[in-house]
Amino acid sequence: AATSATGDDMLRRRQFHFAQVQEIYYQQPPQIERGWQHHLIDIRGRSYLDMMNNVTILGHGHPEIAAAAADQWQLLNTNSRFHYEVLGELCSQLSDLAPAGLDEVLLVNSGTEAVDLALRMAGAATGRSAVVTVKEAYHGWSMGSDAVSTSLADNPSALETRPEWVHLAAAPNTYRGIYRGPDSGPRYVADIARQLSELDSRGIAVAAFISESFYGNAGGVPLPREYLAGVYELIRARGGVCIADEVQVGFGRLGEYFWGFEEQRVVPDIITVAKSMGNGHPLGAVITTREIADAFRGEGSFFSSAGGSGLSCRIGLTVLQVLERENLQRNATEVGAHLKAELLHLMETHHIIGAVHGMGLYLGVELVRDRDTLEAAREETFAICERLRERGVIVQPTADRQNVLKIKPPLCLSMSSATFFVQQLDEVLTRGW
Residue 159 CB, nearest approach to ligand PMP (Å): 18
Query: Using CB atoms, what's the residue nearest to ligand PMP?
Result: 111
Among 95, 151, 173, 248, binds ligand PMP (CB under 6 A): 248
Please check whether residue 151 is in contact with residue 137, taking contact to mean a CB–CB distance below 8 angstroms: yes
Q: Are 322 and 76 in contact (CB under 8 A)?
A: no
User: How many angstroms separate the CA atoms of 188 and 371, rounded?
Assistant: 23
**Contact call for residue 146 and ligand PMP (CB under 6 A):** no
For 174, which DSSP code?
A: T
How many chain residues bind ligand PMP (CB under 6 A)?
14
Element (H, E) at 227: helix 227-237
Contact between 385 and 397 under an 8 Å Cβ cutoff? The reply is yes
Asked if residue 216 binds ligand PMP (CB under 6 A), the reply is: yes
Kindly state the DSSP code that residue 236 receives in the 8-state scheme: H
Q: What is the DSSP annotation of 268-314?
A: -SEEEE-GGGGBTBS-EEEEE-HHHHHHHHTT-----SSTT-HHHHH
Question: In terms of CB distance, is 139 or 225 closer to ligand PMP?
Answer: 139
Q: Could you say whether residue 212 binds ligand PMP (CB under 6 A)?
A: yes
The residue among 112 and 309 lying less far from ligand PMP, judged by its C-beta, is 112
Residue 215 interacts with ligand PMP (CB under 6 A)?
no
State yes or no: residue 247 binds ligand PMP (CB under 6 A): yes
Shortest Å distance, C-beta 274 to ligand PMP: 4
By the rule CB under 6 A, 332 interacts with ligand PMP: no
Q: Which is nearer to ligand PMP, 187 or 357 (CB)?
A: 357
Name the pairing type of β-strands 104-108 and 32-36: unpaired
Residues 355-414 that bind ligand PMP (CB under 6 A): none
Q: Are 220 and 364 in contact (CB under 8 A)?
A: yes
Of 138-146, 153-161, 321-329, 386-394, the segment contacting ligand PMP by CB under 6 A is: 138-146
| 368, β-bridge pairs | 376
Rounded Cα distance between 84 and 104, Å, is 17
At its nearest, how many Å lie between ligand PMP and the CB of residue 243?
11
Lay out the sheet containing 206-212: strands in order across: 104-108, 284-288, 270-273, 241-245, 206-212, 130-134, 166-169
- The CA distance from 22 to 265, in Å, is 36
329 part of the interface to ligand PMP, by CB under 6 A: no
Query: Judged by CB under 6 A, which of 48, 84, 138, 296 binds ligand PMP?
Result: 138
Please identify which residue in 56, 72, 110, 309 interacts with ligand PMP, judged by CB under 6 A. 110
State the minimum distance, in angstroms, from the CB of residue 287 to ligand PMP: 15
Strand (E) positions, 170-248?
206-212, 241-245
**CA dist., res. 251 & res. 116, Å (int):** 20
Question: Interface residues for ligand PMP in 176-195 (CB under 6 A)?
Answer: none
- Of 33, 8, 241, 267, nearest in space to 122 by CA: 241
Residues 115-134 that bind ligand PMP (CB under 6 A): 115
CA nearest 264: which of 211, 314, 317, 217? 211
Instruction: Give min distance, CB of 242 to ligand PMP, in A.
Output: 15
Pairwise CA distance, residues 73 & 310, whole Å? 8
Minimum gap (Å) between residue 416 Cβ and ligand PMP:
29
Q: How far is the CB of 16 from ligand PMP (least distance, A)?
A: 25
Pick the piece of the chain touching ligand PMP (CB under 6 A) from 136-144, 289-297, 305-313, 346-354: 136-144
Q: How far is the CB of 144 from ligand PMP (least distance, A)?
A: 11
Q: Supply the minimum distance, in Å, between the C-beta of residue 111 and ligand PMP.
A: 2
Nearer to ligand PMP, 22 or 373 (CB): 22
In the list 223, 274, 343, 365, the residue contacting ligand PMP (rule: CB under 6 A) is: 274
Binding site for ligand PMP (CB under 6 A): 110-112, 115, 138-140, 212, 216, 245, 247-248, 274-275
